[in-house]
């Protein structure tokens, strides 16, 4: 009897001792994952909070990447917090509300703070005083920006559909489990930036989408995307200049500064009406904005493929001339495109090339002179 008890006790102790080992063994990251974690952790984050922030005029991808990457850093033991550069747009508000996930707080001045930048890497797209901040990481899909106030840090830049896909890759590489909430948050970025896998989409975006869709437990992602589109095109109660600045980015090329806004409308009549309003808003606020040229692009979200998909307008005349030089499709008042035109992939590269060519040849359109 005594012997039996002893053996039972021994077996019990053995079970208790081995149970946590078995548990940790299944969650222990592989050597490769440890290596990926080390890449992210090689930066000295210090004891201060690291803010994970996207670009000005936040969109769904920027907010998605900030929330999900801050969560990843937390999982890796870094004191990180997701923030946004300003009020989020109606699309982001709609989808976060649908998920029951809180909108991150606003940080609009960078001085003295520490950041990981997501979905941007240029000072022109960052919040005020970013040159006075410390940047400890970058994840972007807009090429290599101008941010230089960094140590030797982990930077990831790829020609990919959404920054959320880059965050997804980091989770998988580091073997950090993806919760249902984080799967949903990352899907928000992919759905928005790839227009539900129809624009700028790479194979990696599709892989991320499928994996995250399974984890998200959302039945109908197409319906969710339609809800996002409807929310994005809902500018109720907003002034025209607020609409213009909702999804707006600034650029500087060859000494010329310009702003470009991305707006949504359903059907060609609504697109034309929105173009008229944006033209008036650009003219009325031209001095206040203080850039050389302003552009507005209106995308058709009607889903009617028989219609033209993109309209553009520009202000002042130099900007109209530049746009005409790029696309040559001025149709009365508007530049009209059969297909959807991506700001990042189509419009900005064309404007950049034309401005650089103007500088080289002293073009009469823009009145630019070659650099001395
Ligand atoms: Mn993006």
Beta strand segments in 124-246, E:
134-140, 150-157
The pTM is what?
Answer: 0.83
% of the chain residues with pLDDT over 70 = 90
pLDDT above 90 covers a percentage of the chain that reads 80
Structure tokens, 357: 């060519």
169-194 average pLDDT score: 98
State yes or no: pLDDT of 2 exceeds 90: no
- 121: tokens are 């890497």
- Nearest-angstrom CA–CA distance, 286 and 279: 10
How remote is the CA of residue 234 from the centroid of ligand 1, in Å? 21
Distance 361 CA to ligand 1 centre (A): 34
Q: How far apart are CA 322 and CA 66, in angstroms?
A: 35
- Residue closest to 51 by CA, chosen among 30, 76, 32, 74: 74
Residue 338 CB neighbour total at 10 angstroms: 11
Query: Looking at residues 53-67, what average pLDDT do you find?
Result: 97
* Separation of CA 51 and ligand 1 centre (Å): 18
Residue 345 Cα to ligand 1 middle (Å): 12
- φ/ψ of 32, rounded to 5, equals -65, -45
- Asked if omega into 219 is within 30° of 0 (cis), the reply is no
pLDDT (average), residues 268-285: 97
Ligand 1 center to residue 273 CA distance, Å?
Answer: 27
Check residue 372 and give its pLDDT: 38
Look at residue 22 in the predicted model and tell me its pLDDT: 45
Query: Is the pLDDT assigned to residue 27 strictly greater than 80?
Result: no
C-alpha of residue 330 to centroid of ligand 1, in Å: 28
- pLDDT recorded at residue 98: 96
Distance CA 52, CA 356 (A): 33
CA 153 to ligand 1 centroid distance, Å: 21
Domains for the chain: give ranges and CATH numbers: 35-229 (3.90.1640.10), 240-361 (3.10.310.20)
Centre of ligand 1 from the C-alpha of residue 117, in Å: 12
Which tens digit of pLDDT belongs to each residue from 115-136? 999 999 999 999 999 999 999 9
pLDDT digits (tens, 9 = 90+) for 249-276: 999 998 999 999 999 999 999 999 999 9
- Whether the pLDDT of residue 364 is over 60: the answer is no
What does residue 137 show for φ and ψ, rounded to 5 degrees? Answer: 180, 150
Calculate how far, in angstroms, residue 62's C-alpha sits from the geometric centre of ligand 1: 6
Enter the tokens of residue 309: 């998909």
Residue 164 Cα, ligand 1 centroid: separation in angstroms? Answer: 8
Question: Contact 78/148 with Cβ under 8 angstroms?
Answer: no
Report the pLDDT value the prediction gives residue 303, as an integer from 0 to 100.
87
Half-sphere exposure of 253 (CA within 13 A, CB side): 21
User: How far does the centroid of ligand 1 lie from the alpha carbon of residue 237, in Å?
Assistant: 26
């Amino acid at each position: 009897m005594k012997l039996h008890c002893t053996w039972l006790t021994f077996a019990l102790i053995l079970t208790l001792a081995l149970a946590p080992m078995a548990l940790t063994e299944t969650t222990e990251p592989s050597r490769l994952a440890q290596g990926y974690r080390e890449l992210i952790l090689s930066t000295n984050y210090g004891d201060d909070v690291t803010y994970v922030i996207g670009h000005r005029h936040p969109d769904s991808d920027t907010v998605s990447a900030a929330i999900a990457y801050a969560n990843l850093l937390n999982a890796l033991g870094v004191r990180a917090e997701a923030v946004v550069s300003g009020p989020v747009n109606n699309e982001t508000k709609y989808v976060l509300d649908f998920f029951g996930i809180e909108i991150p707080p606003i940080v609009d001045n960078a001085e003295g703070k520490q950041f990981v930048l997501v979905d941007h890497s240029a000072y022109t797209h960052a919040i005020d005083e970013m040159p006075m901040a410390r940047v400890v990481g970058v994840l972007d899909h807009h090429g290599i920006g101008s941010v230089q106030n960094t140590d030797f840090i982990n930077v990831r830049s790829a020609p990919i559909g959404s920054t959320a896909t880059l965050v997804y890759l980091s989770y998988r590489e580091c073997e950090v489990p993806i919760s249902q909430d984080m799967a949903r948050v990352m899907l928000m970025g992919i759905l928005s930036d790839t227009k539900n896998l129809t624009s700028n989409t790479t194979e990696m975006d599709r892989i991320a989408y499928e994996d995250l869709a399974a984890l998200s437990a959302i039945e109908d992602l197409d319906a969710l995307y339609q809800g996002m589109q409807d929310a994005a095109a809902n500018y109720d109660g907003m002034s025209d200049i607020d609409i213009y600045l909702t999804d707006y980015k600034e650029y500087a090329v060859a000494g010329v500064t310009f702003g470009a806004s991305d707006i949504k409308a359903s059907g060609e009549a609504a697109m034309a009406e929105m173009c008229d309003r944006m033209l008036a808003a650009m003219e009325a606020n031209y001095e206040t904005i203080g850039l050389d040229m302003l552009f507005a692009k209106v995308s058709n979200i009607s889903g009617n493929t028989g219609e033209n998909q993109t309209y553009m307008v520009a202000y002042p005349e130099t900007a109209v001339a530049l746009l005409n030089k790029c696309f040559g499709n001025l149709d009365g008042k508007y530049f009209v495109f059969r297909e959807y035109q991506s700001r990042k992939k189509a419009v900005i590269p064309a404007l950049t090339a034309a401005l650089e060519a103007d500088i080289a040849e002293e073009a009469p359109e823009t009145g630019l002179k070659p650099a001395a």
